[in-house]
Structure 1
Amino acid sequence: GGAGRMDVLMRAVNSALFLSHGIRHDSHITLHLMGGPGPARRIWFDGSRLQGLHSDERAIAGQVNKVLQHPVPAIGQLVEIWPGLWHSGGDISTTIAEWSRENVTMVKLDADAASLKGEGGAELPERIGFFLSDDQPFTDDENSLLGKSMEERSLGSKWIQGHIAIGIVHHLLDEGASINI
């Protein structure tokens, strides 16, 4: 969405990266900051390399604020701020293009779509990336862009908060549940 709430994004980072006692080394999260002054910016956390980040929302927000003190890099140029945390110029279309080149299977989570949980035991793609909005639905332009590039799947008929959706997806993947992609 546009100018979303930072607390919602910090909860998403927390859910994507942290276990009760440790970090998910198989997880990444990219925040798309597109609602403020200046050009769009992406902040990318890589759980396999991340150091010095604690699972407290205020600590995560403090680190994000440090990133925001740096000038926005050129689109597609990833600049590492510290181990496991990069930022770059660009928006959702930049991430879609990168993930396409990297053969990431992309899924947009949407309560009105077909269920993510599938039947049977189809083998999962090696790399899966999920798109979810902040506290606002995706804009019409974002929906148009996302709809052209990926499948839409639902975690249920109710709209749930992003950090909860991330937790559910992690649970399904951790348990080896059948996924309908």
Structure 2
Amino acid sequence: MTAFAIIGHLARTDGGFSLNDLPGSGGRMDVLCRCVNASLFLSHDLRRDVDCYLVLLGAPSGPKTVKFSGEAVRSLSPDERSAGALIKKVIDIPCGSEFREGADGVSVRKGGLERLAGEHRFAVMDEQGMDVRTVDALPDAFLLSDHLNFAAAEEELIRDCPRISVGPKCLHADHTITVLHNELDRRISGWK
């Protein structure tokens, strides 16, 4: 099982955003929706062995974590609005410290990176990190940030995590996920 976690520093923690304005009213929810799609979609199929976590830190009631499970998700199409509609649906359901499913394969709980960091051994995606092609054994969990850098408190939580880079240029989070999937696919299949 592979896990991707993306920090949404401004992402709304209630359904009070418009699907017609994911970047503005959603607090750059568009970035997170693209990451969901990059994490889960293949051409004509889903990656059933992937979980995608969205750590929502914006107003009004953060932090919350939304989990998309590739094994169980339904009603997800490969566009931002589809992922946004599922996020909007689940983040308003009452939840506590454990994940509560609000749609097939999509669940929510209170809490953020601190809790996730205790559950997964993340590699942090960082353009200054080790080249992914030189890392012998890749981990099964990857942490990315949205359009903003990690905050100081987040850096403190992840200070001991390995840092990995997918190349010499700074890529968008969803593009980084795609490159990581390609590298993992090549390694798993032995394809050269």
TM-score range with shorter-chain normalisation? 0.7 to 0.9
Partner of 1:146: 158
- Structure 2: state its 5+ residue gaps: 1-7, 11-26
- Corresponding residue for 1:172? 183
Mapped pair 1:7 → 2:23: no
Q: 1:136 aligns with which of 148, 156, 175?
A: 148
Contact 2:86 2:103 in 1 (8 A): no
- Residue of structure 2 equivalent to 1:113: 129
**Aligned mate of 2:40, from 6, 14, 17:** 17
Q: Aligned pairs, how many?
A: 165
Q: Deviations over 1:109-153 (max 9, x none)?
A: 00011212116xx4555xx100000011111111111113x2111
- Structure 1 residue runs of 5 or longer lacking an equivalent are 100-104
RMSD: 1.6
Amino acid at match of 2:96: A
SS state at 1:117 partner: helix
TM-score normalized by the length of structure 1:
0.85
| CA distance, structure 2, for counterparts of residue 123 and residue 38 of structure 1 | 38
2:105 matched to 1:96? no
What's the TM-score once normalised by structure 2's chain length?
0.80
Matches within 5 A, 1:26-65: 26-65=49-88
Choose 30-39 or 9-18, whichever is displaced more. Answer: 30-39
2:96 aligned with 1:74: yes
Which of structure 1's runs of 4+ aligned residues deviate more than 4 A?
122-125
SS in 1 for 2:141: strand
